[in-house]
Structure 1
Amino acid sequence: MRRGAVRSVVVAGLLALGAGVPGPAQASVADGPVADGPEADVAYHGRVALAGSRLRIWLVPENDGPAALPNATLRVRLSAELADRQELSGGCARAGSREVVCETGPLPLHGRGRHVALQLELRERTPEVAVRVDTWWNGGATDRNHANNEHVVLALDTGDTYAF
C-alpha cells in the first residue's frame, strides 16, 4: 500500500471520529452503544520485544462477533519517544511522537484480520517501554468487552518476548 493511501485511510478514520483528536466524542463510540452500528468483539493477541533502541511488535486482530467489520484501526502507544524516521508496515501511520495507528483490514465474524508487524526505532535506548494497544476506530461498532482489546505490556531491554 502506498504511503499516501495509508494516510488517506488514517485521515478518513480521523474525520469519521470528528476532528481527529481523541477525546470524549471518540470514547462514546467505543464505550457505549451506537444506535446504527453493528456489535463486534475486537481482540488483539501478539508479542512485544525490546532490544537496545529497537522495539518489535507483532499482533493479530480478531473479531468474535456477532457482526463482521469491514475495517478497524488499532493504536499502539509507547512510554518512550519514537525516533524521527520510521519505516512502517503497509496500512500503518505515525500519529504522534509516541503513537502509531494501523488498519486491521476486514474482520470477519469469528475470524482474524491482517497480521501487523512493526519494527520501531526509539529515539534513545531505554531500560523498559510500556506498550499500550487498543482500538482507536472501529467504524461505529459497539464493543462491550474491552478486556481483550486494551492491553498494556511492559517490555524490558533484554530481547525477551512478552505475549499478550
Structure 2
Amino acid sequence: MKEEVVAVRRCAVRSVVVAGLLVLGGAAGVQGRPALAQEPPAQGYEQEVGQEAAQEPAPEAAPGPDEADVGYHGRVSLERGQLRVWLVPQNDGPAALPDATLRVRLSAELADRQELSAGCVRAGSREVVCETGPLPMHGYGRHIGLLLALKEPVPEVVVRIDTWWNGGASDRNLSNNQHAVLALDTGDSYAF
C-alpha cells in the first residue's frame, strides 16, 4: 500500500485519487486484503496530504481566448502647472482586444477647463480616462497625448496610469499596466 501512496502524492490531483482509492478499497478490499474502511489510516496521513497539496502551486492554465497582456509605455513631464503625458498602449497577447480604457490619476487637482484628446474624458477632479482603440495581438493601440492644466502650479505631481476597463479580458501580468511616476516641475521627461 505504501507504493500506491507515494504515487498518489506525486499526482496533481492527489486528493481526488486518494478519495477514490478509499472508496474503492472500502467497498471491495485491495488484492485480497480486508477493506480499507476496516484499516485505520496512517496517523496524520490526511493532514499531510492536505498540507502538501496546499504548498504546491497549481499548474498554470493555458491562456484563454479572452486573455490579453495590456501594457503602457511613455513619458510624463511637468512644467509651470502644465502636465504632459504621452503614451502608447500595447498588447502582448495571446488575444486581441477590440478596445480598452486606461486611467490617468494625479496627486494634484486638474484645472476646471481642459481640452482633452479625442477618446479621452475627465472622470473626476484628478482623473482622466482614455480609450486605447483596438489592441491587436502582439501589437500597439493609438498613441495618446495629453496636455493637462493643473488647478495651481505644484513642485511635483505623482501620475498613476493603469487599466480602467479591458472588455472583461483577464490579464495575468499587471506589472506593465500599473505605473506610478513622480514628475518634478523641471520640464524633464520621466519615462515609464
Q: Which interval holds the TM-score relative to the shorter structure?
A: 0.7 to 0.9
Cross-structure match for 1:143: 171
Gaps of 5+ in 2: 1-63
Task: Tell me which stretches of 4 or more aligned residues in structure 1 moved more than 2 Å.
Answer: none
Where does residue 114 of structure 1 map in the other structure? 142
| 1:97-136 matched pairs, under 5 angstroms | 97-136=125-164
Q: How far did 1:37 drift?
A: 6.7
Which aligned pairs between 1:5-154 and structure 2 lie closer than 5 A? 38-154=66-182
| CA RMSD, 1 decimal | 1.3
Q: Which has the higher contact order (CA 8 A, sep 6+)?
A: 1
Query: Offset at 1:54?
Result: 0.2
Counterpart of 2:190 in structure 1 is: 162
Alpha carbons of structure 1 residues 141 and 37: separation in structure 2 relative to 1, 3 Å? farther
**How far has the Cα of 1:57 moved from its partner?**
0.2
The 2-side partners of 1:106 and 1:66 are apart by 14
| TM-score w.r.t. length of structure 1 | 0.78
Q: Distance in 1 between matches of 2:65 and 2:167?
A: 8
C-alpha displacement at 1:108, in angstroms? 0.1
| 8 Å CA contact retained: 1:70, 1:105 | yes
Which structure features the higher share of helix residues?
Answer: 2
How many angstroms does 1:41 deviate by?
0.0
Asked if structure 1 preserves the Cα contact closer than 8 Å seen for 2:91 and 2:138, the reply is yes
Report the secondary structure of 2:175's partner residue: helix
**Bigger share in strand:** 1
CA-CA distance at 1:53 after TM superposition? 0.4
Q: Quick one: percent identity of the two aligned structures?
A: 76
Once residues 114 and 79 of structure 2 are traced to their aligned partners in structure 1, the CA distance between those partners, rounded to angstroms, is 16
Query: In 2, Cα distance between the equivalents of 1:37 and 1:51?
Result: 43
Preserved CA contact (<8 Å) 2:65 2:94: no
CA distance in 2, matches of 1:110, 1:144: 15
3-state SS of 1:147 partner: helix
Distance 2:101 2:171 in 1: 14
Deviations 1:102-158 (A, max 9, x none): 000000000000000000000000000000000000000000000000000000000
- The separation in 2 between residues aligned to 1:128 and 1:146, in whole angstroms, is 26
Distance apart, 1:69 and its partner CA = 0.1
> How many Å separate the matches in 1 of 2:188 and 2:143?
20
Q: Which has the larger radius of gyration?
A: 2
Which SS does the other structure have where 1:44 is aligned?
strand
Q: Is the 8 A contact 1:77 1:133 kept in 2?
A: yes
